[in-house]
Amino acid sequence: MLLCATAIINYGQVKKSNDQKRQERRERINQLIKKEEEGALIYYKQSAFGFKLNTDGWSGFYEHGKYKTISTTNIWWVEGGERKSPKEEKQSVTSFDGTFITIGNPFVYGKENNFYYLKAGFGQQRLIGGKGNKNGVAVSAVYGAGIAGGYLKPYYITVSELINGSHDIKYTDGSEAYYLDPTIIQGSPGFTKRMFEGEWTPGVLARAALRFDYGKYNEILSAVETGINAEYYGKKMPIMALNPAKHFFFNAYVAIEFGKRK
**For 209-240, what is each residue's pLDDT tens digit?**
999 988 765 677 889 999 999 999 999 999 99
Domain 43-261: assigned CATH number: 2.40.160.20
H or E element: which one contains 115? Answer: strand 113-129
Domain ranges, ordered by start, for the chain: 1-37, 43-261
Q: What is the mean pLDDT of residues 73-92?
A: 92
| Predicted confidence band of residue 134 (pLDDT cuts 50, 70, 90) | low
CA–CA distance, 41 with 219 (Å, rounded to integer):
9
CA–CA distance, 32 with 181 (Å, rounded to integer):
67
Residue-wise burial string across 195-206, b where 16 or more C-beta atoms lie within 10 A, e elsewhere: eeebeebebebb
pTM: 0.77
What's the DSSP call for residue 82?
A: E
Asked if 37 and 252 count as a contact pair (C-beta separation under 8 A), the reply is no
Asked if 49 and 60 count as a contact pair (C-beta separation under 8 A), the reply is yes
